[in-house]
Each structure stands twice: as C-alpha cells, then as structure tokens.
Amino acid sequence: MNAEQKKQYLELERSLSNKCGKMIRHNELVLTSNDFEEGKLSSTSFVKLKDECWYIPYADEVVIKAPKGYGQGLMDSLEQYGYRELNKIKTERNENRIHALVIFLVGLAVLGIAFGIEYLYNIPILMEFFIIISWIFIWAAVHKLFFDNRSLKDMRFTILQLLSAKIEVVGSDTV
C-alpha cells in the first residue's frame, strides 16, 4: 500500500466515523418488524444480534431497540435461543476437553514408543522421529484445551451479555 492509498483509507475512516458515529450508538442493536415471525424473533435475526453483540465490550450494557408490540416475543425468543446456544457451547467445551485428553494420551503413548525404541533397538533417528510426532500430539491437545476453549468461553459470555440486554420498545414499526 502506498502513502496515497493509506491517506485515502484514513480519510474514509474519519468520514464514516463522523457520519455514522452520531447516528449509531456502539451498544445499540436495532430490530425492525421484519426481524420477527409470528410475533417471535426469527432465528436469522438472533444470529444477527449475536454477531453484532460480539463487537460490544462486555463492560457496556447492550440495548436492544424493538418495535412496539414485539417486546414480549423478543424476550421469550431470546431466552429460548440463548438457552440452546449455551447448551451447545457447554457440550462443545466438554467434547473439547475429552478430545484434548485423548490426543494427549496418544502423544504420551507415542513418546513411550520412542523411549522403548531407544531402549530396545538404539536407533536414534527413529527415536527422534517418534519424539517429534509425540510433541505434535501433545501440542494439539494443549491448543485444543486452552485456545479452542477460550473462543467458546468468549461466545458464552457474548450470549450471556445479549440475554442481559436492556430492551427498549420504540413506537414505530421500523425503529
């Protein structure tokens, strides 16, 4: 990227910030009557809310603006979708732990094979090969346990933040 492009992009960012920053509060999620089906929040709209909530810091209170007549349907739908999402995340976290344990045990078994080969046959290159393979398995287990579970934890708190949002019912259909 050259200096002229960078200058152009920074100017675009400033103009967007000036234009949209006054109209949109960063912690507001706005719904329209199109986001509802039979008085309940549609599943695609819940995904949209979840995705937008991802960008709101946990320290900020989320405000959901819904059109008049949809407040109770929104509350019921959020609770149902949120419950399902939280259960799914809990299941995935448990599965991650089990997979990490299995992968770690495979890594330890391969490491044991490496030392067995050294003890029985004294073939250094084969032993090094098995040690490298064992560390790959062990690292995969560590990655799954610490990094994959972290992203699931973040998703969990995003859902909880969305469920604790303040709901404002606005008089018009299009908010």
Q: What is the pLDDT, as a whole number, of residue 175?
A: 47
- Inside any domain, residue 95: yes
- Inside any domain, residue 94: yes
- Inside any domain, residue 8: no
Q: What is the largest CA-CA distance in the chain?
A: 81
Q: What is the pLDDT, as a whole number, of residue 172?
A: 59
Q: What is the pLDDT, as a whole number, of residue 25?
A: 67
Q: Return d(Cα 114, Cα 125) in angstroms, integer.
A: 10
Instruction: Average pLDDT across each block of 10 residues of the chain; the chain has 175 residues. List them in order.
Output: 88 83 75 92 95 91 92 92 97 96 97 91 90 96 92 95 93 57
- Inside any domain, residue 14: no
Q: What is the pLDDT, as a whole number, of residue 157?
A: 96
Q: What is the pLDDT, as a whole number, of residue 19?
A: 76
Q: What is the pLDDT, as a whole number, of residue 117?
A: 87
Helix (H) or strand (E) holding 19: helix 3-23
Q: What is the pLDDT, as a whole number, of residue 24?
A: 61
Q: What is the pLDDT, as a whole number, of residue 161?
A: 96
Question: What residues have CB less than 8 Å from 159, skipping those under 6 apart?
Answer: 50, 82, 85, 86, 89
- Inside any domain, residue 3: no
Helix (H) or strand (E) holding 168: strand 166-170
- Inside any domain, residue 16: no
Structural domain count, the chain = 1
- Inside any domain, residue 155: yes
Whose tokens are 């920074």? That residue is 10
Please say whether the beta carbons of 135 and 31 come within 8 A: no
Question: Residue 142 sits in which domain range?
Answer: 25-170
- Inside any domain, residue 17: no
